[in-house]
Amino acid sequence: MPTGEHAPATTVLPPAIDLSIVIPMHNEAAGVDALFDRLVPVLSATGLRCEIVCVNDGSTDDTLARVLERARRHPPVLMRVVDLSRNFGKEIALTAGLDICDGRAVVPLDADLQDPPEVIAQLIAKWREGYEVVYAVRGDRAQDPLLKRMTALLFYRVFNAVAKTRIPVDTGDFRLMDRKVVLALRRLPERTRLMKGIFAWVGFRHTGVTYARPARRAGSSAWSNWALLRLAIDGIVSFSSLPLRLWAMVGSVIALGAFAYGAFLVAHVLIYGRDVPGYASLMVVGLFAFGIQLITLGTIGEYLSRVFDEVKQRPLYIVREEHRIDGGEDAGVNGRDGSA
């Protein structure tokens, strides 16, 4: 080669990622070591090039520090650690992880080990059979409190009865999704998100794998009964307009009843020539109708609040910083937002 000439520059692309594990985290410091002690050997055994995407959802403990320390000290797989600017909630944190991951297949995983990492091999096997979504079905929930099992069963039954999109019973976010599914999910920018409902809405060829759900290994759940109820209401309102139609029908029935009762009173006066006493019964009917009106207004308010959230067009989340740790080397990435 003549002096002064240089070979054309070539860009060396990193190897493609076969499998991404997306883990939303909020105050999970106590379980970080146990999580990676079980997860990393499972991923190594797959023979795939894997990445773990941890999304720190505004933790107030040292979850972020522990995850970064573990990633730098034991770097068998690519680690990407996303630190959100505040606590946006699990559904949004999971969305952030799905937006960032690069795998040909993606598995959302809870950090509390109630989704056993060992099941991932079964999900991969079904994926290789041609399924684009392989969801994990909780076949045994004996470790969950009785109240939680009963309310979960009620939620699935009510949701599937009123919504056009059906969620497989006893499934959560734990599943494997082909990249084409993840790309479809990224096109859904709604602010009120029930991820298991959104997963079901996009469709694709799917099947299930049954597993026994163990008890939580460390820490305590951040989901209170009120938070779970709020999530259930959000999910039903997001996927069904039946509550609006239901109260319209109830109002119609009450109006017909009032018309019939009014006709009865007129007929009674015409026949007997005197007013019909019954102030107490009229008060009861009036208060009942007033209560129905308040419930109806509350239902309309739930839908209007969703419209209010959507029209503001705020980003779903804001990333404070992102770490990409490969082979123990940390390359920080500037913050980003989750704009639609």
Percent of the chain surpassing pLDDT 70: 72
pLDDT band for 145, please (50, 70, 90 cuts): low
Which of 80-89, 236-245, 265-274, 323-332 has the highest mean predicted lDDT (pLDDT)? 80-89
- The neighbouring-strand residues paired with 140 are 212
Confidence at residue 167, expressed as pLDDT on a 0 to 100 scale: 77
Task: Kindly tell me the burial class for residue 301, based on how many C-beta atoms sit within 10 Å of its own C-beta (0-12, 13-18, 19 or more).
Answer: exposed
Looking at the predicted structure, is the pLDDT value of residue 260 above 60? yes
What whole-number distance in Å separates Cα of residue 245 and Cα of residue 286? 22
pLDDT band for 17, please (50, 70, 90 cuts): confident
User: How far is Cα of residue 249 from the mean position of the Cα atoms in its chain?
Assistant: 31
Mean pLDDT of 292-297: 75
Strand order across the 329-333 sheet? 206-212, 133-140, 171-178, 105-108, 19-25, 50-56, 78-84, 319-326, 329-333
What whole-number distance in Å separates Cα of residue 7 and Cα of residue 156? 62
Looking at the predicted structure, is the pLDDT value of residue 251 above 50? yes
Confidence at residue 182, expressed as pLDDT on a 0 to 100 scale: 92
Residue from 192, 230, 198, 194 nearest 308 by CA = 192
Looking at the predicted structure, is the pLDDT value of residue 218 above 60? no
Which of 223-232, 297-306, 331-340 has the highest mean predicted lDDT (pLDDT)? 297-306
CATH number 3.40.190.10 given to 19-224+315-333:
no
59 within 8 A of 32, measured Cβ to Cβ: no
Looking at the predicted structure, is the pLDDT value of residue 11 above 50? no
Any residues with CB less than 8 A from the CB of 113 and at least 6 apart, and which? 31, 34, 35, 38, 214, 216, 217, 218
Question: Which of residues 108 and 290 earns the better pLDDT score?
Answer: 108
Where are the domains positioned within the chain?
19-224+315-333, 242-312
Question: Which of residues 185 and 75 earns the better pLDDT score?
Answer: 185
Residue from 328, 339, 333 nearest 78 by CA = 328
Paired tokens of 136: 């994990």
Question: Which of residues 313 and 26 earns the better pLDDT score?
Answer: 26
Looking at the predicted structure, is the pLDDT value of residue 334 above 60? no
Confidence at residue 273, expressed as pLDDT on a 0 to 100 scale: 65
Task: Kindly tell me the burial class for residue 135, based on how many C-beta atoms sit within 10 Å of its own C-beta (0-12, 13-18, 19 or more).
Answer: buried
Looking at the predicted structure, is the pLDDT value of residue 310 above 70? yes
Confidence at residue 4, expressed as pLDDT on a 0 to 100 scale: 42
Confidence at residue 21, expressed as pLDDT on a 0 to 100 scale: 92
214 within 8 A of 112, measured Cβ to Cβ: no
Confidence at residue 5, expressed as pLDDT on a 0 to 100 scale: 42
Confidence at residue 236, expressed as pLDDT on a 0 to 100 scale: 72
